Structure 1
Amino acid sequence: MGQWLDSLTTWLSANPQWLGMAIFLIACIECLAIAGIIVPGTVLLFAVAVLAGSGAFTLGETLLLGFAGGLLGDALSYAIGKYFHQNIRGLPLIRHHPEWIGSAETYFKRYGIASLLVGRFIGPLRPMLPMVAGMFDMPLLRFVAVSLVAAAGWSVAYLLPGWATGAAIRLPLPEDFWPQAGIVVGTLALLIVVSLNSSIRDHRHGSRLISGSCLLALIAVFVGWPWLHDFDQGVMTLVQEHRRQALDGAVVLITRLGDFRTQFFLGGLLTGLLLLVRQWRHALFAGCALIGTAVGNGSLKWLFARARPEVLTEPLTSYSMPSGHSSASFAFFLVLAVLAGRGQPTRMRLTWVLLGCLPAMTIALSRVYLGAHWPTDILAGTLLACCVCALTLTLVQNREPLPAMPVRVWWLVLPACAALMAFFAFHALPAALLRYQY
């Protein structure tokens, strides 16, 4: 496999005119029924994304190619399921591996539309679920709508890391950037492994161990950030190198979702609605997690008093570390993810957390793009939110686990929160654009 991958990347490096087609086809195969299980598409996507980031394609072009390829794979898989229906079980490969379609079928029957969103990030299920949706005659328009959303998030999650790696290799970065980046990435990888392992193997004390691990990592960031200067400067250089005025408006819309006022009213709305429908323990968890994160963020900012980057034409006067946008957005979306995962299997709960991290991470990264925060600022804000949320969940579940919320509550909470976020995102946009010019 390694030799074949090296040959492919060497050939694409020598023939960059085929790189765009390679990204499109690999993304399509990764999401195509049966083929997506056999072909190691995740490794291939990372490899071609590295080549794209080395100067062949912009980030937008790379993501668009992956998005389009993923949509085509979904469409072909859906068409296969729609055409064959139950006769799919007789196809040669599926006949010899009935577990491939069996797990996807069970997942789809249990979670419906949510399975297509969540299952997109679960390797063995990703290529099979669209086929199962066609097999069970899911309405085409509904499938297309869900597939558009799922493919967009998937392309970012699977292509952005490789593209950023390729772009970083190309640029003249500070001398100690790569060793420091290795330390940061290694620490985060260890934290993720510990969190996953504790969640899967030790349900009773999992959230307590996650909270403690995040606290240790947070302390390490606050102690070590002066020695991570090259990492901060390198990432900032990488991001600002690819900043485009045409994207500023969209990024400002995203960053406004993490503004203090937006998150204050969102937290109040979420907690108030949970109290209104008498979900007392869920409201206690949401309120304490959001308030605890906000108080912790303000206190740490005042304590460390770190200056912001001097990228903006009119630099912000408040302190920089930890990032309030990062901590508030991660706290809010993690609370939603934790509540969505109550009463569900471990893998489903973890997947909801992953989905919750995607919009929060987008808001956090927008702060580095706009030059309002250092990378270690958003890292500290993220760890703070994870620590407080896990600790709050531990305390709320001290005697018994949080039960799942009724579906009717979600039909009230999600539209209300989405409407409020849209209002704040578009309100006073021209003033925000002026503020984040550089």
Structure 2
Amino acid sequence: MGPWLDSITTWLAANPSWLSVAIFLVSFTECLAIAGIIVPGTVVLFAVAALAGSGVLPLQEVLLLGFLGGLLGDGVSYFIGRYFHQNIRRLPGLRHHPEWIGGAETYFQRYGIASLLVGRFIGPLRPMLPMVAGMFDMPLPRFIAVSIVAAAGWSMVYLIPGWAAGAAVRLPLPEGFWPQTAVVAGGLAVLLGLSIQASLRNKRYATPLIALTSLILLLAVFLGWPYLPQFDQGLMTLVQEHRSDVAQTFVVIVTRLGDFRTQFAAGALLVAALAIARQWRHLLFAAGATVGAALCNGAMKMLFARARPEVLLDPLTTYSMPSGHSSAAFALFMSLAVLAGRGQPTRLRLTWLLLGCIPAASIAMSRVYLGVHWPTDVLAGMLLAFFTCATSLAIVQRHTSLPAMPIRVWWLVLPLLLALFAICGALELPHALARYQYEAHG
């Protein structure tokens, strides 16, 4: 695959006007039934996103192209399944590889709508599940709604790393940025590796190990941030260079979803819904994770008293580390992800955690984009949330594992939280648009 990929990237580098088409087509192919299994789209996506990040395309355009391409791939796959139904097994490729559709069919029948969200991040299932959804006559409006959410998260996870790598190579970043970045990435890789290995092997100490590792890394960030100035400055430069009025309007709405009042209301709704459903152990876990993160965040801010970046014309006067938005968002969404994964296979639980990281990371990075937090601030907030979530879960599971929540509870929890975030976003939208018009014409 090396020479083939090199020839494509070389041609696109010489013809950057075709890069938009390439991102759209590769995203479409990666999510298209059968083709998505055969074509190594993930590697190609990273390569073309890196080219785009080298100064050819802004991030928002790359994400939009990836989102639309993935959405079209989902739609075509869905209608293929809807048209052929059970005769789909006779299509070229599936006749000789029935296991391709067999695994997706079993997965869809077991998890329903959730399979389209989680399976989006599982390579062999991603292109096949929309086709299976069509084969089983899933209502089109429901499929479209789920596919929009899944495609949005997928485009962020698969395109941002490549684009950021291309942008970082192009920019004149501070000397020492890459060694410091390697240290930070190495610490996170240790946390990720230990968590995955202990979970896959079903070790009883997996959750306490995650809590301990998160605490050690959190302390390392608190003690080591004065020695990571190039990492902070370099990443801040990378993010700030690509600010735009249109993107800022969206980012302001995202960051408002992490405000204390919004997160407090979301946590209170979650706890109240679990109390109404009499899910007491689940309630104790969620309350311990979210309240613990809030209390620890306030105490640590006062203890370290780190000043905020001087990016804004009128910088905030409150302390900076750890980021309250980051810790609150990760605590809430990680709690939801843990609850969603109860009673499911280990790989599926890990995928739920990945899904939970997407909205939390969006809120956390919005703080760096707006210039109100250093990257190490949001990193510390994330690690704090990991620690409180894992500690709360370890305490609740001290004697027996936390069982899966009944589906009826999710039909109570999710509509409440979605309604809350929708209302908060709608209330913030007029203010964000007003700021955009003022900055654009003022």
Query: How would you bin the TM-score normalised by the shorter chain?
Result: over 0.9
- State the alpha-carbon separation in 1 of the partners of residues 189 and 82 from structure 2: 40
Instruction: Determine the structure 1 residue equivalent to 2:140.
Output: 140
The answer as to whether partners of 2:256 and 2:428 remain within 8 angstroms in 1 is no
Instruction: Determine the structure 1 residue equivalent to 2:236.
Output: 236
Shift of 1:432: 7.7
Instruction: Determine the structure 2 residue equivalent to 1:102.
Output: 102
The answer as to whether partners of 1:252 and 1:433 remain within 8 angstroms in 2 is no
* Structure 1 residues 6 and 296: alpha-carbon distance in aligned structure 2, compared to 1, 3 A threshold: same
Shift of 1:190: 2.3
- State the alpha-carbon separation in 1 of the partners of residues 178 and 69 from structure 2: 32
* Structure 1 residues 175 and 434: alpha-carbon distance in aligned structure 2, compared to 1, 3 A threshold: farther
Further displaced range: 257-266 or 232-241: 257-266
Shift of 1:20: 1.3
The C-alpha deviation readout for 1:104-133, integer Å capped at 9, x for no partner, is 000000111111111111111001101111
Shift of 1:18: 1.5
Instruction: Determine the structure 2 residue equivalent to 1:206.
Output: 206
Matched AA of 2:126 = R
- State the alpha-carbon separation in 1 of the partners of residues 94 and 189 from structure 2: 35
- State the alpha-carbon separation in 2 of the partners of residues 134 and 425 from structure 1: 32
Instruction: Determine the structure 1 residue equivalent to 2:53.
Output: 53
Instruction: Determine the structure 2 residue equivalent to 1:71.
Output: 71
Shift of 1:315: 0.7
Q: Secondary structure at the match of 1:95?
A: coil
* Structure 1 residues 435 and 212: alpha-carbon distance in aligned structure 2, compared to 1, 3 A threshold: farther
Instruction: Determine the structure 2 residue equivalent to 1:155.
Output: 155
Instruction: Determine the structure 2 residue equivalent to 1:177.
Output: 177
The answer as to whether partners of 2:60 and 2:247 remain within 8 angstroms in 1 is no
Instruction: Determine the structure 2 residue equivalent to 1:362.
Output: 362
- What are the residue-to-residue correspondences of 1:370-389 with 2, within 5 Å? 370-389=370-389
Further displaced range: 423-432 or 45-54: 423-432
Shift of 1:294: 0.9
- State the alpha-carbon separation in 1 of the partners of residues 201 and 386 from structure 2: 19
Shift of 1:203: 4.2
Instruction: Determine the structure 2 residue equivalent to 1:266.
Output: 266
The answer as to whether partners of 1:323 and 1:377 remain within 8 angstroms in 2 is yes
Between Structure 1 and Structure 2, how many residues are aligned? 438
TM-score relative to the length of structure 1: 0.96
Instruction: Determine the structure 2 residue equivalent to 1:38.
Output: 38
Further displaced range: 246-255 or 311-320: 246-255
The answer as to whether partners of 1:168 and 1:238 remain within 8 angstroms in 2 is yes
- State the alpha-carbon separation in 1 of the partners of residues 399 and 206 from structure 2: 15
Q: Secondary structure at the match of 1:32?
A: coil
Matched AA of 2:349 = R
Q: Secondary structure at the match of 2:367?
A: helix
Unaligned runs of 5+ in 2: none
The answer as to whether partners of 2:107 and 2:115 remain within 8 angstroms in 1 is yes
Q: Secondary structure at the match of 1:72?
A: helix
The C-alpha deviation readout for 1:195-248, integer Å capped at 9, x for no partner, is 111111124221111111111211221121111101110111111111112222
Q: Secondary structure at the match of 1:94?
A: coil
- State the alpha-carbon separation in 2 of the partners of residues 77 and 122 from structure 1: 16
The answer as to whether partners of 2:311 and 2:371 remain within 8 angstroms in 1 is yes
The C-alpha deviation readout for 1:31-51, integer Å capped at 9, x for no partner, is 111111111111110000000
Matched AA of 1:249 = T
Instruction: Determine the structure 2 residue equivalent to 1:413.
Output: 413
Instruction: Determine the structure 2 residue equivalent to 1:28.
Output: 28
Matched AA of 2:41 = G
- State the alpha-carbon separation in 1 of the partners of residues 186 and 99 from structure 2: 35
Instruction: Determine the structure 2 residue equivalent to 1:322.
Output: 322
- State the alpha-carbon separation in 2 of the partners of residues 3 and 322 from structure 1: 45
Instruction: Determine the structure 2 residue equivalent to 1:299.
Output: 299
Q: Secondary structure at the match of 1:400?
A: coil
| Cα RMSD (Å) | 1.8
1:288 lines up with 2:267 in the alignment = no
Further displaced range: 424-433 or 295-304: 424-433
TM-score relative to the length of structure 2: 0.95
Shift of 1:160: 0.8
Instruction: Determine the structure 2 residue equivalent to 1:87.
Output: 87
The C-alpha deviation readout for 1:308-351, integer Å capped at 9, x for no partner, is 00011111111101101000000001111111111111122111
Shift of 1:166: 1.0
The answer as to whether partners of 1:23 and 1:48 remain within 8 angstroms in 2 is yes
The answer as to whether partners of 1:248 and 1:433 remain within 8 angstroms in 2 is no
- State the alpha-carbon separation in 1 of the partners of residues 351 and 168 from structure 2: 29
Instruction: Determine the structure 2 residue equivalent to 1:245.
Output: 245
Matched AA of 1:96 = H
* Structure 1 residues 434 and 147: alpha-carbon distance in aligned structure 2, compared to 1, 3 A threshold: closer
The answer as to whether partners of 1:215 and 1:383 remain within 8 angstroms in 2 is yes
The answer as to whether partners of 2:225 and 2:376 remain within 8 angstroms in 1 is yes
Matched residues, percent identical? 68
- State the alpha-carbon separation in 2 of the partners of residues 12 and 290 from structure 1: 47
Shift of 1:69: 1.1
Matched AA of 2:123 = G
- State the alpha-carbon separation in 2 of the partners of residues 421 and 104 from structure 1: 32
Further displaced range: 211-220 or 89-98: 89-98
Shift of 1:426: 4.2
- State the alpha-carbon separation in 2 of the partners of residues 270 and 129 from structure 1: 30
Matched AA of 2:36 = G
Q: Secondary structure at the match of 1:84?
A: helix
* Structure 1 residues 428 and 63: alpha-carbon distance in aligned structure 2, compared to 1, 3 A threshold: closer
